[in-house]
Structure 1
Amino acid sequence: MGHHTFDADGADRLEEAERRYRYVSGEELLWALAPDPGDTVADLGSGTGFFTDVVAPHAGTVYAVDVQQAMHDYYAEKGLPENVEPVTTGIEELPFEDDSVDSAFSTMTYHEFASDDALAEIRRVLAPTARLAIVDWSGEGIGDHGPPLDERYTVETAVENLLEHGFTIEHAFARPETFLVVATIE
């Protein structure tokens, strides 16, 4: 699979609401994540903070996790909400304590980091009863947008990977170009 990163030189495209909301709306993301006002939430692959900004008003602290400092620089220039903390790291090396994150989400970045090490690390930092929401490009899509098909996962493969790492699947939806998985820790 791909495991690449989005070119930070194209960061402006990540701020195009009509393109981003076509594949997942803010309302759908909030439904999947169900944050409480005091929750600590991690946006895994936050990029420019487009979806971080959607979640921030509904959470206590939001960690905007991205491997590229250039994305955090873009986000800082755009304006970080007070409760958002940028964290520059790979998903395999999250600098959080065990069981310290109430929920996490990934929008269109799962294909960039999906590995046993990353999933084990996400599982480690998520608190008991935490939610994980993943929206990503489908390996069964047509490939007109997003990464090449051979760098994508199917919803079935994503579900299988999450189950192998101790997650319980609440919802899994395949759509024409994307999928949505909501997983919990029980």
Structure 2
Amino acid sequence: MRYEEIRDQIRTGDILACHGVATISKLIEATTSHHDPEAWSHVGLFVWVGQGLFLAQEYEGEGFGIYPASQLIAKFQAAGSSCSVGRAPKLVVDNSSAIFSLIETYRTTPHLRPYGYGSLLRILVDKEFHHNEDPDKVQAVCSIFDQQAWEKCGFTFARLFAPEDFKSVVEQIIPIDKAA
């Protein structure tokens, strides 16, 4: 489905998941997904503000930001990424108003959680050895922000999550076709 066809079905708390083609995307996939050829290398969080649908995300080189969803999806797809909507569990959707306090914290304290590639290694170690790192104590990457947002809604994670790991907890994956 094209973005325009599914936009109104997206809920605050759902995630945008991307499989990228850039070098950094391949590095993220290689270190966190056991070389799944369709692995997700980036996730962002959909949020509705009035009639506008936005993506709140941590992004390398930029840090935290909130962007119009249509523009960000078009940007990712133009760069060769494939994108999907990951439907959040009911618990997250039902409590999604809690996400806005985390967004406000990230938005008002930009240097509180700098984007950190070192966190990818910590995610890998946590995944492999069940070290149970606290997401509040690692530098932010895209999946850490989404994990913290879902935790604010009451969702429980057993460990740090990489983008690919969200496949195991979303209710449904809806591919977004590229615009013609």
What is the TM-score of this pair, normalised by structure 2? 0.26
More helix, by proportion: 2
More strand, by proportion: 1
